[in-house]
Amino acid sequence: MTARLALPMSATLSTARVSEVAGDAVRLEELGYRGLWVGEGRLRRDAVTQLALAASATRHCYLSSGIVPFRTRNVAVLAMTWKTLHQLAPGRVRLGLGAWWEPIASRAGVHTASPLTAMEEVVAVLRTLFAGGTATCHGKYVDVEEIRFDGVEDEAGATYPVPVYLAAVGPRMLELAARIADGVLLDFFLPAGYLSRTAPGALTARQSSPAPLDMPQLVACAVDDDDPGAAVNAMRVVLTRYLVQQPHIAAHSGADPELVTRLRRTLGWPATTGELREAARLVPIGLVREVAAVGTVRDVLSAMEERIAAGASEIVVAPFGDRRTETFEALARRTAVRPN
């Protein structure tokens, strides 16, 4: 009998229908995934509704946005929302923040010329409010005057221990996260060697903090033991979308810049599924294998172990394609994942 790997894993919660969120969250918790992450990167579905449904249905796993764009909500509303989620699932809620990429940020009216400045202002106010304090900030992006939580519980000095995670790809955001956040959520479609190259700067920036920097990493995966090639080709289409739509991933994935330029000229925005499948033929299979975990269960686990060896503290399993449930179950059977 093959030994089970002691691989720390959490899971992305991305269902086909909102009505399935609670049931899927319970199943993932039962499988042993220690945490659930809900994204809000595209104009598909909000994260808060799903986190609330998952919080109401689960009992042990932690629950985190992964991520919410930091300027799509006023900072006071953002803090109040996570205060409410904390009250729903005390001690289990995390707040994952990130900058919206271009061109979607500008199209939605929240272009941020200085994301590092904006992030630092937002996190400073959040920290004050979660600690039960009164926040004032007259910054470039955040302008608030003596705001504080004002529920009955807050009159008694209530505090809300909500860990803050920053989504980071570039080294400057990584270093900022090391200084001001509890953890870094590393994006997917990054090669295993990326973290070993960038972690030293972040860890140096962390030296003034007594707490270690938590660094979970999203890993895009597709599992098919019967037809590993089908898993690779499915991920090829997904990677094509991200190379076209998310410049930060294109820049750090190791993709040839000329390939990225050609893909962007070929595809509209947002691209249709048919257009993506056609354009995906341009993307080298070697690049897919380098930045994602694809193929058999053994292939996928090996790619995940590489990222743990490079410095990731936990794998955030992000399955793509039509075999999401099978992927979660197959990985859980082969790994010693356990709830916290």
Note the pLDDT of residue 5. 60
Output the pLDDT for position 66: 93
Rounded Cα distance, 283 and 254, in Å: 12
In contact, 46 and 70? CB cutoff 8 Å: no
pLDDT tens-place values along the chain, 340 residues long: 344 567 899 999 988 899 999 999 999 999 999 999 999 977 889 999 999 999 999 999 999 999 999 989 999 999 999 999 999 999 999 999 998 877 788 888 888 999 999 999 999 999 999 999 999 999 999 999 999 999 999 999 999 999 999 998 888 898 899 999 999 999 999 998 888 787 777 777 787 777 888 999 999 999 999 999 999 999 999 999 999 988 888 999 999 999 999 999 888 777 888 999 999 999 999 999 999 999 999 999 999 999 999 889 999 999 987 788 999 999 998 886 444 4
* Count of beta carbons in the 10 Å neighbourhood of residue 193: 13
198, 197, 166, 196: which is closest to 179 by C-alpha?
Answer: 166
Confidence at residue 176, expressed as pLDDT on a 0 to 100 scale: 92
At residue 268, the pLDDT reads 76
Q: How far apart are CA 56 and CA 47, in angstroms?
A: 14
Domains contained in the chain, CATH given: 9-222+313-334 (3.20.20.30)
